[in-house]
A and B are shown apart, each in its own frame.
Chain A
């Protein structure tokens, strides 16, 4: 027994090492798609068919499954769930074509595809048409990769909630997509400028126009801030003169 102790030590260590290596490994924690509750039995067939359409596209299939799971967890009525999932499927088809086009025209990294799909889906849902979306994504990916498109999407989702015209927001996002901006900090500054414009009582349309001008001339955030302040001063003096 003592003679063989070194073999036993090696064997036990190897087994322990393998167990430790696999313990809590995220890959081992994969779970299956949960079954549908009774109330969803009537729509389960159609759901399976919809998910089955994406069997060769794992990313999209996962997104659709997640949407179904979300509806089930939120206890959405079956007919409402089905309606939402059908709409999601239509958007997924549009976005799938946009991504394919994007992959042909720009260098899209494989690991970026999930993020791009998710961003395209969200902006499409916000009402940006496929053509504008395609141009926005193409320019963003060219100038800063999928990362940049994600930042632009975040900004878009945020400023769509403000009192800005859709065209103004789109123009601002398009300006950003062509600009050299690459970091999340830029989004933070841009949001700060929009807030400043509100405090200065500049009309949102005019503020967006000034920011766009600054961006197209590659001005720094500080310079754009001064441009906004100048515009506010000019606006106030004009009103004063009118009185």
Chain B
């Protein structure tokens, strides 16, 4: 409400007060109504009052508690989302290959490059897989040859004349 609106209401109410006085009633209507209007204005503004409330109530222990909560909530959310996943390390022994990638349902078939470990003499990659799912995948050698994982539990025809490996996270 604008300042001159309040002024107009104030004038009207004072007039009403005078009428009431003539009638013998002595209630401070204008005072009450104006107090309500101002309270409404304060509610609308909100933020300064919240800041005032925080300044009045935020002590060191409550600030520490707020910090802990702010840190804990995302950690809890993160842990819950991670509980749905399982880390699986895929390995492939092909020391002669120059580049090995993995491609499967879990990468929407985009090839992901595997790292070569010279000590173990194998290519490996760790991938987070959703639990209680089955995924098909293959290894890609030197960007051209698609081969199923010889260590996979099962294999299926891929429908294109080749084979896919299957991994389940059950």
* Partner-B contacts on A (CB < 8 A): 6-7, 9-10, 13-14, 17-18, 20-22, 25-27, 31, 33-34, 65-67, 69-74, 76, 80-81, 84, 87-88, 111-112, 114-115, 118-119, 122, 125-126, 146-147, 150-151, 153-154, 157-158, 161, 184
A interface, over-half SS? helix
Cβ of B168: which chain A residues have Cβ within 8 Å of it? 115, 150, 154
One of B74, B81, B111, B140 near A18 (C-beta < 8 A): B74
The reply to whether B105 and A13 contact each other, CB–CB distance below 8 Å, is no
Q: How far is the CA of A124 from the CA of B136 in the complex (A)?
A: 16
B interface, how many residues as a size bin?
35 or more
Across the interface, name the chain B residue whose C-beta is closest to A10. Answer: B66
- Given A17-B73, A20-B78, A87-B159, the answer on whether A7 and B170 have CB atoms closer than 8 Å is no
Cβ of A125: which chain B residues have Cβ within 8 Å of it? 156-157, 159
One of A13, A22, A67, A73 near B67 (C-beta < 8 A): A13
The reply to whether B133 and A21 contact each other, CB–CB distance below 8 Å, is no
In addition to A76-B160, A88-B159, 12 A-B residue pairs with Cβ atoms within 8 Å of each other are A7-B54, A18-B74, A20-B74, A20-B78, A21-B74, A22-B74, A25-B78, A27-B81, A73-B110, A114-B133, A125-B156, A146-B132
- Asked whether B154 is an interface residue with its Cβ less than 8 Å from the other chain, the reply is yes
- Given A66-B108, A111-B132, A150-B134, the answer on whether A74 and B156 have CB atoms closer than 8 Å is no
B interface, over-half SS? mixed
The reply to whether A80 and B66 contact each other, CB–CB distance below 8 Å, is no
* Partner-A contacts on B (CB < 8 A): 54, 58, 60, 63, 66-67, 70-71, 73-75, 77-78, 81-82, 84-85, 103, 105, 108-111, 128, 130, 132-134, 136, 138, 140, 146, 153-160, 162, 164, 166, 168, 170
Cβ of A111: which chain B residues have Cβ within 8 Å of it? 132
Cβ of A150: which chain B residues have Cβ within 8 Å of it? 134, 168, 170
Q: How far is the CA of A178 from the CA of B134 in the complex (A)?
A: 23
Across the interface, name the chain B residue whose C-beta is closest to A25. Answer: B81
One of B70, B74, B105 near A10 (C-beta < 8 A): B70
Q: Closest 10 CB pairs between A and B?
A: A21-B74, A69-B109, A84-B159, A157-B154, A14-B70, A118-B134, A17-B74, A73-B109, A6-B63, A17-B70
Q: How far is the CA of A67 from the CA of B110 in the complex (A)?
A: 12
The reply to whether A66 and B105 contact each other, CB–CB distance below 8 Å, is yes
Cβ of B166: which chain A residues have Cβ within 8 Å of it? 122, 154, 157
The reply to whether A13 and B85 contact each other, CB–CB distance below 8 Å, is no
One of B67, B82, B154, B157 near A9 (C-beta < 8 A): B67
